[in-house]
Chain A
Amino acid sequence: MEFVNDVAAVVVTYNRKDKLVKVLDHALDQSLRPTWLVVVDNASTDGTGEYLAEFAKEHPEVVLVSLAENTGGAGGFAAGMARGYELGADFVWIMDDDCYADRTALEELVNGLGKAEESMGMKLPYACSLVKWVDGSICEMNNPGTTWDWGRLIAKGQQNVLVTHCSFVSVLFPRWTLTRFGLPLKDYFIWFDDQEYTLRVTQAGPGVQVLTSTVVHDLGTNRGVNFADVNESNLWKFEYGVRNETSFRLHHENPVAAAKFVVRLAQGLRQGRVPLGLQAKLFKKLVEGIKFNPKPEFPRSVL
């Protein structure tokens, strides 16, 4: 049996050509070079497609997936991960189009996951990086949730934290995770797709955050997700977030978890003095989430 570790790096992009250039350069300039770089263009309208076509000519490892319409981060990641799986990758390593991976980020993820599996005596479903903001501080939006025994591997001298969920900014999934649990829910479109997926695959065991694998998330501002911040311009994202999280808490956890979410939502909105009109729109999405319960698709085994 040959033990090859072919990694498919997956980058999902939408109208962010300026940052994408740097993202792809970082993804390719790794100490452990990915075998493929799958770039999913979510029907960008800013010339990303043309740029990527040129980029692919110079880099044979680039595999372009051009979607006919914008399917959101969730649809993009599902398509890109499926493509990596079809190519025969042993791992898929996924990130956004504003994530600059440090040179050893991938190598540390692969090694960190291997070491963690060895000490735990089991296969672990994913490994994620430590995500920093551009100034080197922790990125508020990308902190994983930890398990009750998060320090178990640190006690053994590893730089690995056991986690229950994380965001899709530099996450490494072994092939079997996709075989067993399928793909992220593309119907979520955006927000909470990463949490849902990582929580789903955590059924098989904890994930691991490899602290020696670092990436920079180039966000405009370094702020976490908070319902107090809802305004007219960002409402659309929060709408998806409310619908998706309601659906998840209700259908994948339990009504009590869903009720707690409603309380957290209401408190956040009140604290932020969010206008009543916007609050009403979010509550409408909450109701929508009660019926909304998409099912995962599974990737095809091709090679």
Chain B
Amino acid sequence: MATVDLDLLQGTLDLLILKTLTWGPRHGYAVASWIRETTNNRLQIEEGALYTALHRMEKRGWLEAEWGLSENNRKAKYYVLTTQGKKQLRSKTAVWTEYASAVFQVLQTS
């Protein structure tokens, strides 16, 4: 099974995180597991980069963080999508789809 280094695709990590959070508040670990499971481990995500992205987006106001209790009753930091974050997700999705289809088109023509 081929794996892809996500560093190649700038901004994609943000997009994935935002998408993940559309299903409700999650803590960092849950975000990482969800991405891994959904992609069947095909994307290699360094978890340090994931947390950096989370904090950066919190600072930009795309996410809000709240402390809460996890499934096993431990204190955990939950991230929630803000209105601004939802807007970002929409525009980023559009851009990314456009980009991917353009690249795909080029690869198809040979």
Q: Do A and B bind each other?
A: no
Q: Which residues of B contact A (CB under 8 A)?
A: none
